[in-house]
């Protein structure tokens, strides 16, 4: 069964540093997403990406965040100047329409 692959599985970074979370969506999917889940809280939508541009973003997705599809396979989330409160699980997902596949997530710990 096709998978969404995320790397790394765990990233520890110092406050103020920049991190790039990587995702390889399913090849024939058209929509790509990033979600975030702070420990003990609900899964929150960050951004959706379609046709090489952001189609929707949440209030969380401010200037600190950016997404990119640098080639035909990778989909990245960059977080600049990380803060302690950015510590969370970050899930990438892809879909054809509403049929989603989630990656296994990257646990980001900001120290």
Binding site for other proteins (CB under 8 A): 31, 33, 35, 41-45, 48, 50, 55-56, 89, 91, 95, 97-98, 100, 102-105, 107
User: Minimum CB separation from other proteins for residue 68, in Å?
Assistant: 18
Under 8 Å between Cβ of 92 and 32: yes
Of the pair 65, 91, the CB lying nearest other proteins is at 91
User: Minimum CB separation from other proteins for residue 104, in Å?
Assistant: 5
Of the pair 7, 104, the CB lying nearest other proteins is at 104
User: Minimum CB separation from other proteins for residue 45, in Å?
Assistant: 5
C-alpha dihedral, 106 to 107 to 110 to 111, nearest 10°: -140
The SS3 of residue 104 is: coil
What would the two tokens of residue 38 be? Answer: 């702070």
- The residue among 21, 3, 1 whose CA lies nearest residue 93 is 3
- The residue among 67, 95, 78 whose CA lies nearest residue 13 is 78
Of the pair 40, 72, the CB lying nearest other proteins is at 40
Of the pair 36, 79, the CB lying nearest other proteins is at 36
């Amino acid at each position: 069964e096709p998978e969404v692959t995320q790397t790394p599985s765990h990233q520890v970074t110092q406050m103020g540093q920049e991190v790039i979370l990587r995702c390889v969506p399913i090849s024939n999917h058209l929509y790509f997403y990033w979600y975030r889940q702070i420990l003990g809280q609900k899964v929150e939508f960050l951004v959706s990406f379609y046709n090489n541009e952001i189609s929707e973003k949440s209030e969380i997705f401010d200037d600190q965040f950016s997404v990119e599809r640098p080639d035909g396979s990778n989909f990245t989330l960059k977080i600049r100047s990380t803060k302690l409160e950015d510590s969370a699980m970050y899930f990438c997902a892809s879909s054809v329409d509403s049929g989603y596949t989630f990656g296994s997530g990257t646990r980001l710990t900001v120290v």
